[in-house]
Amino acid sequence: GIQVEQSPPDLILQEGANSTLRCNFSDSVNNLQWFHQNPWGQLINLFYIPSGTKQNGRLSATTVATERYSLLYISSSQTTDSGVYFCAVESELFQGGSEKLVFGKGTKLTVNP
């Protein structure tokens, strides 16, 4: 099956710094999502981005489907950005149009004050 690799596995920043998280995938995908899991375990959708670039405040994401990678940019990081960031790709459809998401192992981000 499709492989999803995220890098770096761990990242420590000072508040105000910028960062780039990377997601590589081994095969063509129908879609890609970025999630943030906060320290309480809640998994929040950040972006739904099969290709191109999207921005939401201090966060933006770019997916280059032809080269099989996606990048998540965090600018002017804040302590509330801490948590684990997951990339998940949709690689096949099941009966009824349900998509199957395959998750990477995540990047654990710690932003220190």
Under the rule (CB under 8 A), what is the footprint of other proteins?
Answer: 30-31, 33, 35, 40-45, 48, 50, 86, 88, 90, 93-101, 103-106
With respect to other proteins, which residue has the nearer C-beta, 24 or 99? 99
Written in H, E and C, the secondary structure of the chain is CCCEEEECCEEEEECCCCEEEEEEECCCCCEEEEEEECCCCCEEEEEECCCEEEEECCEEEEEEHHHCEEEEEECCCCHHHCEEEEEEEEEEECHHHCEEEEECCCEEEEEEC
With respect to other proteins, which residue has the nearer C-beta, 30 or 112? 30
With respect to other proteins, which residue has the nearer C-beta, 24 or 31? 31
